Structure 1
Amino acid sequence: MSESGIFIGAESGGGNPQTLELSRANRHGLIAGATGTGKTVTLQGIVEGLSKSGVPCFVADVKGDLSGLAMPGDPNAKNAEIFRQRATDIGLTDYALDGCPVQFWDLYGEQGHPIRTTVSEMGPLLLARLMNLNEVQEGVLNIAFTVADKEGLLLLDLDDLQSMLVHCGEEADQLTLQYGNVSKQSVGSIQRSLLQLRAQGGDHFFGEPALELSDFIVADDSGKGVVNVLAADKLMASPRLYSTFLLWLLSELFEQLPEIGDPDKPKLCFFFDEAHLLFDDAPPALFEKVEQVVRLIRSKGVGVYFITQNPIDIPDKIAAQLNNRIQHKLNAFTPRDQQAVKAAADTFRSNPAIDVATAITELKIGEALVSLLQPDGSPEPVQRSLIKPPSSRVGPLTPQERQVIVTTDAVGNKYDALVDRDSAEEILSAKANEAAAAAAASQAKTESDRQAAEQARTDAAAERERLKLQREQERLDVQRERQQEQAEARARREAARPTMADKIITSATRSAASSIGRSLGNQLLRGILGGLMRGR
C-alpha cells in the first residue's frame, strides 16, 4: 500500500500493479462474481487497506465471515500457505498478518450493539418500501406523518405509528376534507403491513436511543479507521428490512454529512453486499432516491461499493456511477449468464491485450479483471490480476471473541438499553383516556339526569294516581252521604206515614165525626126552620 493508494493486486510476477487511489475511492465501485470466486477476500483486502489509511468503513456481513477482520490471520490455517504464495507471486514484500479495529452492530442486538432509528427519521417513503405499500396506502401514510408534525406528536417506534394510524382512522372524515381521501380500508391495510413488519423483527429497529453517525466515522488510537461490521446473517431472512435499512443509512449519511468535494481520502466507505436486494421490486420513487443518493453522496466524501454475483443486477443509472470495478469469474451457462458476461465486458475500458468476454469465464479463484480510476480521474485499461491476500482472519470469530470486542469497544453500552419516552402513543393514549373519562362523567351525569327525570315522571304519575283515587274516594263519600240522606229521608217519611190501625181509627173517627156533624147540622137546621115557621 502506498501513501496515496491501496494495493489491490498485480499480475503473476508483480507486473501491472493495481492501486485504488484514495482520492478516487469516493467515486464508488463494484465487486462482482459468481459464488466462490473470491469476492469476500477481495472485499476484505480493500477494507483492510482503507482502515490502515485511516478511513472508517461499514460492511454488511451477510455470511458471518467478515467478522474475521477483527483478528490477524491464522498462520496455520489451511489457506495460509496459499496466501503467502500469492503474496510472493505478486511481489507483496511487506505482507504480514494483522487485524483491524472493529465495532460490531446488529439490528436485533444479539451479535453486536443495537442499531435503532425513529419512525420519523425513516420517513414515509422508506417505510412504504419496507411495508410494501401501494401508492394509495403510501399517500395515507404521508398524511399520517403530516398530521403528526402538525400536532407535535413524536413518531419514534412502531407503536407510535400504529397509534397515529388509529387516530387518522378516527378522524378520517375531517382529514379527507383537508388532505385528501383517508379511507379506513387503507388504514387497515397499513396496520396489517405493520403486523408483518413486526413479525420480521422490524420493531427492534425503531426506537431510541437512535444511532449517531459520529459513532461510525471514527478512528482508533493508532489512527486506523474503525470497521463497522453489521451482523446481517439473520437479517437476510427479511431481505426487505435489510435493503431498506442500508438505504436509510446511506440517506442519513447523505443528509447529515457536509459537502467536502473530493477529499484526499474518503470520510467513510460503505460496502453493500447482496446489492441486488436494494433494487428488487423497488417502486420508481425509491429507485430515484437510490440514484440521487449514490450520485450525490460522493461530494460528502462517502464511497459506496456494491457487491453482487451478477453485474446486471445493478440498474444502468446506478452502474454508471460505479467507477472502480473488480470483476471475478462469471459463468456463461445460460442466456442470462451470457448476457451478464457481455454486459460486464462492455463496462471496462478496453485493453488490446485482453479478450475481456473470454477472460471473465476463465478467471481462477482469487483472480479478477480490474479497472480502477487513475489519479487524473480516468479509468485505467482493464487488467487481469491476482488479488492480494488478506492480512486478517478469513472466517468468522467465535462467539466469545465477538463478545469481548463488543464489550470493550468505544461504543460501550450507549445503545444497549431501550429508552421509551413520551411520544405519539403515550400522548394519544392519554388523550383517549381523558376523553373516555369525560365521556364517562357526561354519561354518568346524563344517566343521573335520566334517572331524576324518570323519578319525576314516576312521582308525577303516582301523584296523578293518588289524586285520581282521592277524587274517586270523594265521589264515593259524596255518594254515600247522599245515599245516607236519602235513606234518612225515607226513614222519616216512613216514620210519618200512619199505620193500618191508625188509618182505621182515623177513618172511624172521621166517619163518626161526619155522622155527628150531619146530625147536629140537621138538628140545627130543623130548629131554625121550626122557628121560622112559628113566626108565621
Structure 2
Amino acid sequence: MLEEGKLYVGTSRNPDDSINKGEYLDLKYANRHGLITGATGTGKTVTLQILTESFSNAGVPVFCADVKGDLSGIAAMGEHKDFLEKRAQTIGLDPYEFQEFPVIFWDLFGEKGHRVRTTISEMGPLLLARLMDMSDAQEGVLNIAFKLADENGLPLLDLKDLRSLLSYMAGETEKLSAMYGNITKQSLSTIQRGLLVLEQQGAEHFFGEPALKISDIMRTTNDGRGAISVLAADKLMMNPRLYGTFLLWLLSELFEELPEVGDPDKPRLVFFFDEAHLLFDEAPKILIDRVEQVVRLIRSKGVGVYFVTQNPLDVPDSVLSQLGNRVQHALRAYTPREQKAVKVAAETFRPNPAFDCYEAITQLGVGEALVSTLGAKGVPSMVERTLIRPPSSRLGPLTEAERQKVMAVSPVAGQYDTDIDRDSAHEMLQRRAEEAAKAEEEERRLEEEQERERPESRRWTLPGYGDEDDEDDRGRSRSSRRRKSSSRRRPGYQRQTVTEAVIKSVARSAGTSLGRALVRGILGSLKKGF
C-alpha cells in the first residue's frame, strides 16, 4: 500500500463505490504548495492532521496553526475507535498502527506554548501598517519613522520603542518634514492610538525579544522525524488581523532567510495556513501582491505552503493558480455564492470522465474528498473521489497536564519563556532627552555666573534707571539706594513733565540750523495760540 518517497493520503473509490487505488502526494512535488478546502465539519482538520503526520515521518518539519484546539492530539498516541478501524479496513490500510509525534507547542501569549516574538524592525512598516489598518498617508509617516531609526542607530524592538520614536518626531515635525516629506501631528497621533489598540489586544506579547529563530521550527529528531510546530491559535483568533499578519510575517522571514535549493527530493519545511481567508480579507493590493510573490518564489527555498479554508473563493486567483496539490471536501450549494464556489472548485481539477466533479463535491461524505496531486513532471493527476485515511495520533485535544508535560521536554524549553529588554530606541531617546535637558541647564547656569561676574562699569544700564532696578554688587537693597539717590537731589527738586523734557531737548538742538528752524516753527505756533 505505501510507496517510497510518497505520502499516502487515502484510497479512491469508483462510481459504484468499489475500491480503486491508493492516492499519494509525491514528496518531490510537495513544495509546489497545496489547498485544503471544505465546509465546516467535513474533515479538513483530519486531512491536515494526516498530512502533518506523513510529512513528519518523512523527515520534513511542519508548522501549523491549531485554530480549534483539537490538533494538539497529534502529540499523543492514537486510540482505538470503531469508526477509525472501520475506515482503515475499508481502504485496505493494514496494518493500522498508532503513533505519537514530536511536537513543539507555540503561543503568542505564552499560555499554551512557548512564547513567539518578533521585533518591530523585523515586522517592517508594510505589515505593521496592515496590522493597524493605516491610510496611505499614515503608512508613509511610518516608513519615515523606520528610515529615521535606521539612519540614527535606534533599534525598534517593542511597542514602547516605536511609541518613543513617534513622540520624538512629534516634537521635530518641521525639521523632519523638510528632510523626509510632510509629517503631520495628526498622522502621528493616529498611529499612536493604533499602537494603544494593539497593546490592548495583547500585541505587546508579540513584539520583543528573544525573537523567534527560524531554525527552531525546522528541527528534526534523532530518529529522523520532522518536528511539528503547533501554534495555539484559539485565543489568537479573537484578533484575526494579528493572526493573519503574524503568519504572513513568518512566511516572509522564511523567504528572506532561507537559501535557494531548487527542487529538492523533499521539502525543507511545510507550512499549513489554517483559516487562510483571514489573510486576504480586506487586504490591500500591495499585500496580496506580497503574498503572491512569497508563494511563487518560496518554492525554490524548499518550503511548501498549504492553505486551509472553507471556500476556494477565499483565496485570490493569483495565489490559487500557484497551488498544485488539492484536497476538496464537501461544499454546500444553496446560495448563489456557494454555487459559484462549487463551480470554481470543480473547474480547477483535471476532469475525470468517470464522474461529474460538480455533483460529486456536493455529495461527498465526512472524511471523503476529491484529491488531485502533482505527478510525473509536475502534471496534475486526474481528480479522484477519495476516502481519507484515519490518523495515527489521537483524534482530539490534549489535556492541560499532557500539554505541560510535552512543553517541559521540548528542545526549546527555557529559551523563549523570559523577556529580554535590552538597550533600544526607547532608552536611547530617553537618555538623549535627559542629556539635552542637562546641557540646557548647564548653559543657563553659566550665563547667570557670567552675568554676576561682569564689572559694574560694563553693565548696560541707563543712568538714573538701571540702578533703581538691580541690586548693586555689595548687597545694598534697592530701597537704600533710592534713599541715597533722593538725598543728592537739590532742595525743591520736582520731577519734570514729559512736555518740559521735550522743550528742553529741542532747545539744546537749537545750535544747529535744523534745530533753530524747528524752534522757530514751534514758537510761531505758540504765538498764534495766544
Same fold flag (TM > 0.5): yes
Q: Which moved more, 1:367-376 or 1:234-243?
A: 367-376
Q: Matches of residues 256-275 of structure 1 in structure 2 within 5 Å?
A: 256-275=257-276
> Contact 1:328/1:367 (CA < 8 Å) preserved in 2?
yes
- Cα gap change, 1:450 to 1:457, in 2 (>3 Å): farther
Question: Displacement of 1:464 after TM fit?
Answer: 5.5
Calculate the TM-score normalised by the size of structure 1: 0.85
* Corresponding residue number in structure 2 for 1:497: none
Question: Displacement of 1:442 after TM fit?
Answer: 4.0
* Corresponding residue number in structure 2 for 1:27: 32
Question: Displacement of 1:432 after TM fit?
Answer: 0.9
Q: Matches of residues 27-66 of structure 1 in structure 2 within 5 Å?
A: 27-66=32-71
> Contact 1:260/1:300 (CA < 8 Å) preserved in 2?
yes
Structure 1: stretches of 5+ with no match in the other structure: 477-536
Q: Matches of residues 30-109 of structure 1 in structure 2 within 5 Å?
A: 30-75=35-80, 80-109=81-110
* Corresponding residue number in structure 2 for 1:465: 482
Question: Displacement of 1:284 after TM fit?
Answer: 1.5
Question: Displacement of 1:435 after TM fit?
Answer: 1.6
SS in 2 for 1:348: coil
* Corresponding residue number in structure 1 for 2:349: 348
The one-letter amino acid paired with 2:315 is: I
SS in 1 for 2:41: coil
> Contact 1:22/1:264 (CA < 8 Å) preserved in 2?
yes
The one-letter amino acid paired with 1:458 is: D
CA distance in 2, matches of 1:292, 1:21: 24
* Corresponding residue number in structure 1 for 2:3: 2
The one-letter amino acid paired with 1:468 is: S
Q: Matches of residues 1-400 of structure 1 in structure 2 within 5 Å?
A: 1-12=2-13, 14-75=19-80, 80-400=81-401
Which deviations, in whole Å up to 9, do the C-alpha atoms of 1:342-380 show, x marking residues without a partner? 000000001111100000000000000000011321000
CA distance in 1, matches of 2:47, 2:448: 78
The one-letter amino acid paired with 2:185 is: K
- Cα gap change, 1:456 to 1:70, in 2 (>3 Å): farther
CA distance in 2, matches of 1:451, 1:187: 44
* Corresponding residue number in structure 2 for 1:525: none
Q: Identity of counterpart residues, as a percentage?
A: 56
Which deviations, in whole Å up to 9, do the C-alpha atoms of 1:268-321 show, x marking residues without a partner? 000000000000111111111111001100000000000000111000000000
> Contact 1:21/1:375 (CA < 8 Å) preserved in 2?
no
SS in 2 for 1:17: strand
CA distance in 2, matches of 1:224, 1:458: 88
Structural RMSD (CA): 1.8
* Corresponding residue number in structure 2 for 1:508: none
> Contact 2:125/2:146 (CA < 8 Å) preserved in 1?
yes
Q: Matches of residues 434-513 of structure 1 in structure 2 within 5 Å?
A: 434-443=435-444, 457-459=469-471, 462=479, 465-472=482-489, 475=491
Which deviations, in whole Å up to 9, do the C-alpha atoms of 1:22-52 show, x marking residues without a partner? 0000000000000000000111000000000
Question: Displacement of 1:244 after TM fit?
Answer: 0.2
CA distance in 1, matches of 2:447, 2:339: 80
CA distance in 2, matches of 1:333, 1:407: 48
- The aligned length equals 471
- Cα gap change, 1:355 to 1:442, in 2 (>3 Å): same
Question: Displacement of 1:179 after TM fit?
Answer: 1.1
The one-letter amino acid paired with 1:26 is: N
Which deviations, in whole Å up to 9, do the C-alpha atoms of 1:91-135 show, x marking residues without a partner? 111321111100000001111100111111111000101111111
Structure of higher CA gyration radius: 1
> Contact 2:64/2:229 (CA < 8 Å) preserved in 1?
yes
* Corresponding residue number in structure 2 for 1:423: 424
CA distance in 2, matches of 1:379, 1:107: 37
> Contact 1:61/1:233 (CA < 8 Å) preserved in 2?
yes
> Contact 2:468/2:482 (CA < 8 Å) preserved in 1?
no
CA distance in 2, matches of 1:107, 1:65: 18
CA distance in 2, matches of 1:449, 1:401: 75
Question: Displacement of 1:173 after TM fit?
Answer: 0.9
CA distance in 2, matches of 1:434, 1:459: 34
More helix by share: 1
Question: Displacement of 1:437 after TM fit?
Answer: 2.3
Question: Displacement of 1:450 after TM fit?
Answer: 8.3
> Contact 1:23/1:375 (CA < 8 Å) preserved in 2?
no
> Contact 1:104/1:228 (CA < 8 Å) preserved in 2?
yes
> Contact 1:51/1:57 (CA < 8 Å) preserved in 2?
yes
- Cα gap change, 1:203 to 1:450, in 2 (>3 Å): farther
CA distance in 2, matches of 1:468, 1:437: 42
> Contact 1:24/1:375 (CA < 8 Å) preserved in 2?
no
The one-letter amino acid paired with 2:352 is: N
Which deviations, in whole Å up to 9, do the C-alpha atoms of 1:133-166 show, x marking residues without a partner? 1110000000000000000010000110111111
Question: Displacement of 1:383 after TM fit?
Answer: 0.4
CA distance in 2, matches of 1:468, 1:169: 54
CA distance in 1, matches of 2:468, 2:277: 78
* Corresponding residue number in structure 2 for 1:410: 411
SS in 2 for 1:258: coil
> Contact 1:117/1:209 (CA < 8 Å) preserved in 2?
yes
CA distance in 2, matches of 1:40, 1:165: 43
CA distance in 2, matches of 1:8, 1:242: 28
> Contact 1:16/1:383 (CA < 8 Å) preserved in 2?
no
> Contact 1:326/1:370 (CA < 8 Å) preserved in 2?
yes
Q: Which moved more, 1:14-23 or 1:331-340?
A: 14-23
The one-letter amino acid paired with 1:42 is: T
CA distance in 2, matches of 1:3, 1:462: 108
Which deviations, in whole Å up to 9, do the C-alpha atoms of 1:241-291 show, x marking residues without a partner? 000000000000000001001100000000000000000111111111111
